[in-house]
Chains A and B, each alone.
Chain A
Amino acid sequence: MNALRLIWAGFRMNLKMLGTSSFFMLTAVVQPVIFATVAYYMFRSGGRAGTLLYASLGAGMMGVWSTTLFASGGMIQWQRWQGTLELGVASPPTMGLLYLPFSLANAFTGMYALAATLVWGRLVFGVPLRLAHPFQFALALPATVIALGLMGLVLASTFVLYRNANALANLLEYPVWIASGLVFSTSLLPAWTRPISWILPPYWGILALRRAALGGDVWGPLTMVLVAGAAYGVVSFFTFRVFEHRARARATLSLT
């Protein structure tokens, strides 16, 4: 019960903090709309206007990933700047549990991106919003967001130890968009990249959302989203424990 209370309180708190940040509203709403616009024009000019919903979903998911990446990346660093990181580490709950709700809130904020691109596509480009499997879409969306949040938690754990890990956020935005095939099929990529795609929750997430929207088997990729999310969750609790221990041993927790 205590853990649930902690998760709910942390989730609400971080959601409010992100809601007041212009930067995150930009990342979550404006940037995906821009990328969606580029994709719409490219698909339309290339004579593939039928794929605009495909582009909408992909651009929305790009926004979910960017928001998760930058917010999770910045999470530990902001706590460090505000002087609250030590308090969090010294508190009785494990670090993984403490920062889990923050990471989930980051990914949840990213859902604005999906809403923004779908609405933008409908209003400006007339993209139809008919979903082939609306119920499965409603299941796939939160599952994907939670899995991305757990992936963000693994990233956040590296920030406990490495103060320059925020550069990782700049590094990982495009590669994950590419390897996950968010706006194009991963079959365009070299065969050696497939295993990389398979271990990424966004890859399974966009597959589940795309099939729920356009038709196809949703349950397979949806199961994989949950499996991948759970795996990242387990890894994050392990990495938080290891990195926290090392940061304490080296006395580098609060160094900026």
Chain B
Amino acid sequence: MSNNARIFFVGGVIAYRALFNWLNPWIFVPTLVVAPIFQVLFFAFLGRSAGLESDRFYVIGNALQIAALPGLFAMTFAISGERWSQTLSPLLASPANRAAVFLGRALPVVANAAFVCVVAFVAGALILRVHIAPGAIPALAVVIAVTSISCTGFGFICGPLGLRWRDAIIAVNLLDAVLLIFCGVNIPIDSLPGWMQAVSEYLPVTHGLRAARRVADGAALGDVSGLILAELAIGLTYAGVGFAWLRHLELVARRGATLENS
């Protein structure tokens, strides 16, 4: 295995394990299994109270938006965690290929995001008795995978914040909330003001969610391929911008000797 491939795969897995205190189930299960299920239930009951949409709308919406939870937080902690454990300087002083280092960290996060989506989706559908046709499941799996990639890509924007700002977690919470409000997760997009509708077109989750709802309504994968590609393109664009920003901030921090400043 080449050095870059080793850093990408082995480094990514080690960083992911460290993120959850070496995959401690006491942290993983409540945060990424139980809490997302309750998020689905909370908004489904709120939706019933508001008399707005069916349970299916909220199960699909929240299950997909939950992909942002590991995507945003894990990619931020990929930097912030190094700072807290005082390993950021050695990491950035190493000659390792930066793309291998940081993209490697994204791979387990994508898998994690997809897993959280599926758990929330299945549990929400079972508890609220939402029926999804078995024939729609393979296409939904594709949509979930793509949305998980795009949310992790969006998380790349947050990673560099951890390089400049001690409380990057604040920004991450806000971005997560932006997705909750803007992307049609719980509020139909056409009910939002025009400027919010326009912003939603450039955010992850929006197109994935549209695709997932259409697939659940019986559309074939080919019918929603444009939406899936748009979702993927948005995620990859954010990832590219985030990575470039990270490299820029690293250079600035080296030049100004401000790496450990927080």
A38 touches B187 (CB 8 A): yes
Residue of B35, B41, B46 touching A39 (CB-CB under 8 A): B46
Stretch of B22-30, B207-215, B249-257 at the chain-chain interface: B22-30
A134 vs B187: C-alpha distance when bound (angstroms): 33
Residue of A31, A37, A175, A183 touching B173 (CB-CB under 8 A): A31
A168 interface residue per 8 A CB criterion: yes
Min CB gap A131→B, angstroms: 22
Interface size class of A (residues with CB under 8 A): 20 to 34
B170 touches A184 (CB 8 A): no
B244 interface residue per 8 A CB criterion: no
A188 interface residue per 8 A CB criterion: yes
A178 vs B58: C-alpha distance when bound (angstroms): 15
A45 touches B52 (CB 8 A): yes
A184 touches B49 (CB 8 A): yes
A120 interface residue per 8 A CB criterion: no
A189 vs B127: C-alpha distance when bound (angstroms): 12
A238 interface residue per 8 A CB criterion: no
For window 159-199 of chain B, which residues contact chain A by CB distance below 8 Å? 167, 169-170, 173-174, 177, 180-181, 186-188, 191-192
A41 vs B53: C-alpha distance when bound (angstroms): 12
B50 touches A45 (CB 8 A): yes
A183 touches B38 (CB 8 A): no
A96 vs B230: C-alpha distance when bound (angstroms): 55
A183 touches B167 (CB 8 A): no
A45 touches B187 (CB 8 A): yes
Q: Which residues of B contact A47 (CB under 8 A)?
A: 51
A-B contact pairs, 14 of them (CB 8 A): A22-B170, A30-B174, A34-B180, A41-B181, A44-B191, A167-B29, A167-B31, A168-B30, A170-B31, A174-B41, A174-B42, A178-B41, A183-B49, A185-B49
What are the 6 closest A-B residue pairs judged by CB atoms, nearest first?
A184-B49, A174-B38, A46-B50, A164-B26, A46-B52, A171-B30
Chain A residues within CB distance 8 Å of chain B: 22-23, 26, 30-31, 34, 37-39, 41-48, 164, 167-168, 170-171, 173-175, 177-178, 183-185, 188-189
